[in-house]
Each structure stands twice: as C-alpha cells, then as structure tokens.
Structure 1
Amino acid sequence: MSAAYGLALLVSLAGMAMLDRRFRLFFFDAPRRAAVVLVSGVAFFVVWDLVGVDLGIFFRGRTEFMSGWLLAPQLPVEEIGFLALLCYLTMNLYVAFTRLTVRDRERAAPRPGGHG
C-alpha cells in the first residue's frame, strides 16, 4: 500500500489553489459560494459513484499507488480527493473562461461616440 496517488491529488489541489489565489478565480473571489459549490459537486459525484457501485458499473481497481482505505465498499478515500480536484478544476476553468469571454466581448463592442 502507498499514498502516492493521494499525495499527487494533494499536490494537484495545491496547484489549483495557487492558480485560484493568483487570479482570484473561485475560493479567493467568493469563499462561501465556492465552498457550497465545491461541497455540492463532490457530494453529487459521491452519490453518483455509490449508485454506480451498487449497479455494478464502478469498482475499485487494485493498484499499489493507493492507500487501500475505503470509505464504502468499492469507494477508496482517494476518490474524495479526485472529485474535489475535478470540481475545483472545473470551477477555476469556468470562471477563467467566463472572464476571458466577457473581456473579449467588451473589447469588441463599439464604443459610444467612437468609430466602431
């Protein structure tokens, strides 16, 4: 058993937090809203995983890189870290692309009294 995968997830989450802090994307822009969104997203996907496990669709693969700790049958503890990373990455990307799109639209819009 190893903690390599869990450690890689923590490093990746730290990277997301650094980008978030640098550009004030998600937690560093609106922490309460971000916490609600992240917890809701992780909870949704945990339920999704549990349903998938119950239906026999999802199962835990055997690897030496995971701790071996399970939160539920076929649900490794590392899954929570993965789902948190997935949701955090998605929200950082969503906010970044939304800001870029808005900025590009503002630049392209004709200015009042301008020449188009």
Structure 2
Amino acid sequence: MPGIYLTAILVSAAGIAALDARWRLAAWRSPGRTAAAIALGTAFFLAWDAVGIATGVFVKGDSPLLLGVDLAPELPIEEPFFLAFLCYLALVVWAAARRLPLLREDRRTLEETGA
C-alpha cells in the first residue's frame, strides 16, 4: 500500500511530539531553537544523501510502501520527513537524558524529607 512508510513516520513523530509536549523537552521548551536545529540537521543529511546518490552509494530501491513521488533521482519524498523525524527524535532523547540526573536528585530530596 503506497504511503504506509510516510504514515508510519508521521505517526511516530506525533508520538515523540506527545512526549515532548508532556515533558517540555525540546519544541515545547524552545520552539525556535528546535525548529532551527531540525532544519539544519535535515539540510545536512539531505546534502549527505545527495553525495551518496551522486557516488552511487545510495539507491532508492523498490518498495510498495513508498508513495512513488521522487524529489530527485533516487530521493523519495519520504526522505526529508524521515530525516526531520530523526533530528527531532535525537533532540528529544538528548533533552530527556539531560533531565534524568535532575529527576533523580528531586527523588532523593523527596525521600530525604519524607515527602
């Protein structure tokens, strides 16, 4: 079924956005910086893809899950969505990992005070 891959990417991004919204990790904490980081990361990886395509390392392959729309030879429309999702996921995981020590410290403080 065409479009399943793009749908999976968008549903996954929605799940990460829900976690981000709940814990205010990236986009809900600093939307401008998050958008800039995602745009920069996506542009970098698209340039990386262009080099890979030009050298023959990356090929699209043939899958019934793709929409069948190409932005360029060997570059399906799903690729920028995947790369943006990858960048967003990395930001959310990084922000969550940075917050873990703070959560552990808060838990220790609560246990010490008996609250």
What TM-score range do you get, normalising by the shorter chain?
Answer: 0.7 to 0.9
When normalised by structure 2's length, the TM-score is 0.87
- Indicate the residue corresponding to 1:79 in structure 2: 79
Residues 11-60 of structure 1 deviation map (CA, whole Å, 9 limit, x = unaligned)? 01111111110000110000000010010000000000010100111110
Higher helix fraction: Structure 1 or Structure 2?
A: 2
Aligned match of 1:5: 5
Q: Which runs of 5+ in 2 are unaligned?
A: 109-115
Q: 1:60 to 1:106 in 2, by over 3 A?
A: same
Cross-structure match for 1:42: 42
Structure 1: 5+ residue runs without aligned partners?
A: 109-116
Aligned residues: 108
Distance 2:39 2:58 in 1: 22
Q: Which amino acid aligns with 2:17?
A: A
Query: Alpha carbon RMSD of aligned pairs, Å?
Result: 1.7
Deviations 1:37-91 (A, max 9, x none): 0100000000000101001111101000000101111000001111111111110
**Partner in structure 2 of residue 112 of structure 1:** none
Tell me the SS of whatever aligns to 1:58. coil
Q: Quick one: distance in 2 between partners of 1:66 and 1:79?
A: 10
